[in-house]
Amino acid sequence: MFSGEQEDGISRYLDEHFDETVAEIRRYLSQPGFSHSGVGIRDSAEMTKQLLEDAGSESVELVETGGHPVVFGHLRSNRPGARNLIIYSHYDMVPLMDELQWVRPPLEAAIVDSTQIGAPAHIGKLIVGRASNDYRGPLVATLHALKAMRAVTGDIPVNVIWAIDGEEEIGAPNIHRFIKEKFTELDAGEALWMPGMHQDLKRIMQVYRGYKGNSKIEIEIKGGEWGGTLDAKESWAANLHWMDAPMWRMIRLLGTLVDENDIATIDGLNELLSPYTEEDEEQLRILKERIDERKLKTSLNIARFKAGRDPRELLENFIMKPTLNVVGIVGGYVGPRVYSTLPMDVVAKVELRFPPEVRYADVQRLLRAHLDRRGYAEAEVRFLGGYEYARTSAHEEIYQAAFRACRRRGCDYVIWPIKPAGAPFAHFNRPPLSKPLIFVGMGHGDRWHQPNEYITVDGIRDHMRYAATFLDEWAGGAP
């Protein structure tokens, strides 16, 4: 364990080099790295490799997967018998979407006052930029925490195995190839940590025990033998009385997938959900007790909760139930004014998030059967990838180390049974690797996948100090 003098020394080092840390985060955020298009992705991989090497990592390489490479390497401790920890993150970014909604260009990584983006004044200065929170900012902050430990104590308390993905934002379609190639080295890891800045607006650290599964789906209906024009070419609007309309068919089809409260109603899906454990029940109870309606509304930028309901009623659905969302509908005429046409080809882009014990294959089977049962045989369903769910009990030692570190840093925490997001952690958490995983860290950030994504400048300092304490705590625990 660090002595009090060492811990104070690490904090002083981080303060003395803080401007360098902020500058490096901003430089990293300014490098484009879009996995959906490939723009800047190779340069991002090379920059990530350099960042790991600058922190003292060895044997850093770009592991080719058939897609975008994974940055892999080691940062070793000098301690005999030091524990091995996989640190996973990703260097790729989601698309910028509507840049006009950003207060500053999203690759500028500008420092702005929180009020400029409508965030509370008390959180202070922000770095606003794509991937600031998800997850380039926390990754660089973690690297600088490791630098500080080495500079002050001459060592780090654990052996780090780096796995920095370049395809997380497109479903990590090739991560299995990386794991197969590096299986022996990854299997030496005792657990996996994804560093993030997870304190909320009240500075309570949100501890997530895992991620939901995720399925990205396209459903297409176009004219043909079933109805509409045989060649799937559009017709005159008035001909709606003569022929079936793919657009109306799609609207009705989508309406069968959720109820009036937008709860997924795919036949057989809810029957697969596992009963809550005692651990789940207790964590849900605490979350409901501690919910802050005002701050949650501020975070979501909403005037009221869904259908005017109490957020405590909605929390359980948010965390524990499947979520089916229509991301977009493509088809028909979308130009100026209204054009008299009867569209004959429409595609709905749908995302389904599912909790334990649902599997990706279950979603494929159940959705097709659901549509066929209702007479939508003409609907073509394309599954475009996704994730299985992943989850770890908070009784695991790595969670206990995280809680001890939180108390040492004077912070409070709350545990979520699962995070309502998708990520490729089942590849690490389920057989054959079967590693406990944790997503934890101090500091505040928000608006991932949204305009004006940010991390707080002060939160960077909080995260670095916590990272050092967390690794120190875990290193001292029994393997």
Whole-number Å distance between alpha carbons of 120 and 299? 9
Same domain, 227 and 304: no
Last residue of a domain, one of 368, 387, 406: 387
Same domain, 43 and 129: yes
Same domain, 54 and 25: yes
Same domain, 258 and 289: no
Provide the domain count of the chain: 3
User: For 364-410, how does the pLDDT look when each residue is reduced to its tens digit (9 = 90+)?
Assistant: 999 999 999 999 999 999 999 888 999 999 999 999 999 999 999 99
In angstroms and rounded to an integer, the radius of gyration of the C-alpha atoms of the chain is: 24
- What is residue 421's predicted lDDT score, i.e. its pLDDT? 87
Same domain, 103 and 238: no
Q: Is the pLDDT of residue 148 over 70?
A: yes
Last residue of a domain, one of 287, 319, 351: 319
Q: Is the pLDDT of residue 478 over 50?
A: no
Q: Cα 466 from chain centroid? A: 21
Longest distance between any two alpha carbons in the chain, whole Å: 83
Last residue of a domain, one of 342, 362, 387: 387
Same domain, 38 and 108: yes
Same domain, 217 and 297: no
Whole-number Å distance between alpha carbons of 443 and 458? 7
pTM: 0.90
Same domain, 369 and 340: yes
* The two three-digit tokens of residue 13, written as one number: 């080092």
* CATH number of the domain that residue 355 is part of: 3.30.70.360
Same domain, 351 and 362: yes
**Domain range spanning residue 257?**
212-273+321-387
Q: Cα 105 from chain centroid? A: 22
Contact 471, 157 (CB under 8 A): yes
Whole-number Å distance between alpha carbons of 323 and 317? 8
User: For 336-347, how does the pLDDT look when each residue is reduced to its tens digit (9 = 90+)?
Assistant: 999 899 999 999
Whole-number Å distance between alpha carbons of 84 and 190? 6
Same domain, 140 and 261: no
Whole-number Å distance between alpha carbons of 110 and 105? 8
Whole-number Å distance between alpha carbons of 223 and 245? 8
Same domain, 239 and 283: no
Same domain, 337 and 305: no
Give the residue from 30, 217, 239, 29 showing the smallest Cα distance to 135: 29
